[in-house]
Structure 1
Amino acid sequence: MVLKLYGTNISPPSRYAGLVLLEMKVPFELVNVDLGKKEQKSPENLANQPFGQIPYIVEDDGFVLYESRAIARYIATKYANQGPKLIPTGDLKKIAKFEQATFAESAHFNDPAFSLLLEIFVKKMQGLTPDEARVTELKTTLLSKMDVYEQILSKQKYIAGDEITLVDLAHLPLASVMPDIGIDITTGRPHLTKWLNELLQRESWQTLKANGLVSTA
Structure 2
Amino acid sequence: NVQSSSDNRSTIIVYGMLTSPAVQRVLATLIEKGLKYEFKLVNLRANEHLTSSYLEKQPFGTIPLLEDVDGFTIYESRAICRYLEMKYKGKGTELMPRNNPKAEGLFEQAASTELCYFDPHANNIGRELVLKK
Deviations 1:170-189 (A, max 9, x none): xxxxxxxxxxxxxxxxxxxx
Q: TM-score, normalised by structure 2?
A: 0.87
**Residue among 11, 34, 37 paired with 2:43:** 34
User: 2:89: which partner in 1?
Assistant: 80
- Whole-Å separation in 1 of the counterparts to 2:95 and 2:79: 13
Mark the runs of 5 or more structure 2 residues left unpaired by the alignment. Answer: 1-8
Which SS does the other structure have where 1:112 is aligned? helix
Normalized per residue, the structure richer in strand is 2
User: 1:48: which partner in 2?
Assistant: 57
Instruction: Choose 1 or 2 for highest CA Rg.
Output: 1
- Give the aligned length: 124
Deviation at 1:124, TM superposition (A): 2.1
Q: Structure 1 residues 62 and 121 mapped into 2: Cα distance closer, same or farther (>3 Å)?
A: same
Deviations 1:99-124 (A, max 9, x none): 01110011121111112222x22552
User: 1:92: which partner in 2?
Assistant: 101
**Residue among 30, 50, 65 paired with 2:74:** 65
User: 2:129: which partner in 1?
Assistant: 121
Normalized per residue, the structure richer in helix is 1
Q: Structure 1 residues 65 and 123 mapped into 2: Cα distance closer, same or farther (>3 Å)?
A: closer
Q: TM-score, normalised by structure 1?
A: 0.55
- Whether 2:5 is the aligned partner of 1:20: answer no
User: 1:3: which partner in 2?
Assistant: 12
Deviation at 1:87, TM superposition (A): 0.6
- Whole-Å separation in 2 of the counterparts to 1:26 and 1:44: 26
Q: Which has the higher contact order (CA 8 A, sep 6+)?
A: 2
Mark the runs of 5 or more structure 1 residues left unpaired by the alignment. Answer: 126-217
